[in-house]
Amino acid sequence: MLKKLTWFYIIDNRSIKTQQHGQRMVVKTLFEIYLDAGVSEDSDVRGILPESQKEQLRRADTKEQRVRVVADLISSMTEQQLMMTHRKLTGIELGSITDLI
């Protein structure tokens, strides 16, 4: 009975599924933006990357290595940092020039 209640109220909850879908989309979008920035020749595009990742991506020889650097960058962010970065990079919220991301 407890398993059924857990599935009904928690695992199969529409609100949770909606939130999880949104979170996956945020991570996917940031991943694509950072991966593209890592191979871009445009200094403005590469400028969105943190300095340590710019250097790591520059040294990465293979796509797998670049994917790993970007995955590590995203996984090191808190949920709040992830959401703020996503909003700024997608133009949803411009923020201030003094904001740290």
Range of the domain at 7: 2-89
pTM value is 0.80
Asked whether residue 98 is domain-assigned, the answer is no
Asked whether residue 75 is domain-assigned, the answer is yes
Asked whether residue 18 is domain-assigned, the answer is yes
Q: To the nearest 10°, the Cα dihedral for 53, 59, 62, 63?
A: 20
Q: Does the pLDDT at position 47 exceed 80?
A: yes
Asked whether residue 97 is domain-assigned, the answer is no
| DSSP code string of 28-73 | HHHHHHHHHHHH-S-HHHHTTS-HHHHHHHHH--SHHHHHHHHHHH
Number of domains making up the chain: 1
Asked whether residue 100 is domain-assigned, the answer is no
60-101 tens-digit pLDDT? 999 999 999 999 999 999 999 999 999 999 998 887 766 666
